[in-house]
Chains A and B, each alone.
Chain A
Amino acid sequence: MRLTPLATALLALASSASTASAAGGDAGGPPRRVVSLNLTADELLVEMLPPERLVGVTRWADDPEMSNVAGRVPAAAERLPRADLERLIALRPDLVVVSEYTDADFLRLLEKSGLRHHRLSGLASLAGIRAAITDLGQLVACPGAAARLVARMDAILGELARRLDGARRPRVLYWSDPHTAGADSALGSLIEAAGAVNVGRELGLRGIVPISGERAFVADPDVVLLTLGSGAAGSLRRHPLLSRTRAAREGRVVEMPNRLLVALSDRAADACWWLAARLHPSLVPQALPAGGNR
Chain B
Amino acid sequence: MSEPARRRLVFAVLAAALPLALLSALSLGSVPLSPLGVIGSAAARAGLGAPAPLGDVGEVILWSVRLPRVLIAALVGGGLAVVGASLQSLFRNPLADAGLLGVGPGAALGAVIAVNLGWAQERFLALPLSACAGALLALLLIYALAHAGGRPSLSGLLLTGLAVSAVAAAGTSVLLVATEEFRVRTVLFWLAGGLEGRGFEHAALAAAFVLPGVAALFLLSRPLDVLSLGEEEAAALSLPVHAVRIVVFGLCALVAGPVTAVAGSIPFVGLIAPHALRGLVGPLGRHLLPASFLAGAILVVVADLAARSFGQYVELPLGSVTAFVGAPYFVLALRGQEGRE
Contacts and interface: CB of A to CB of B under 8 A. Distances in A.
Contacts of B29: 86
B197 A109 contact: yes
Contacts of A75: none
B198 interface: yes
A208 B200 CA distance: 34
Interface string A171-210: 0000000010000000000000000000000000001111
The secondary structure that dominates the B interface is: helix
A27 B108 CA distance: 37
Contacts of B130: 10
Nearest to A176: B181
B3 interface: no
Contacts of B198: 105, 109
Contacts of A87: 30-31
Contacts of B127: 103, 105
A179 B184 CA distance: 13
A89 B61 contact: yes
A57 to B, nearest CB: 15
Nearest to A1: B117
Contacts of B314: 81-82
Interface stretch (A11-19, A66-74, A146-154, A241-249): A11-19
A92 B60 CA distance: 11
Nearest to B182: A101
B124 A14 contact: yes
Interface string B199-215: 11110000000000000
B38 to A, nearest CB: 14
Contacts, number: 122
A240 B198 CA distance: 45
B124 A179 contact: no
Given A105-B197, A109-B197, A81 B312 contact: yes
Interface in A60-119: 81-87, 89-90, 92, 100-109, 112-114
A11 B123 contact: yes
With a 10 A CB-CB cut-off, give which of A16, A84, A109, A112 has the most chain B CB atoms: A109
B275 interface: no
A209 B279 CA distance: 52
A59 interface: yes
A89 B60 contact: yes
User: Which size bracket describes the interface of A in this complex?
Assistant: 35 or more
Interface in B103-158: 117, 119-130, 133
Contact of B129 (A10, A59, A82, A100): A10
B121 A100 contact: yes
A86 B65 CA distance: 7
Contact of B30 (A16, A84, A101): A84
Contacts of A100: 121, 182
B64 interface: yes
Contact of B177 (A105, A112, A210): A210
B125 A15 contact: yes
A102 B182 CA distance: 10
A127 interface: no
Contact of A103 (B133, B197, B202): B197
A232 to B, nearest CB: 14
B48 interface: no
A6 B66 CA distance: 33
20 contacts: A10-B129, A14-B123, A14-B124, A15-B124, A17-B123, A59-B313, A82-B314, A84-B315, A86-B65, A90-B31, A90-B57, A101-B121, A101-B185, A102-B121, A105-B120, A105-B125, A105-B202, A109-B199, A113-B60, A210-B177
Given A86-B30, A103-B197, A104-B122, 12 more contacts: A10-B130, A14-B125, A14-B129, A18-B122, A81-B314, A85-B65, A101-B121, A104-B121, A112-B199, A207-B180, A207-B181, A210-B177
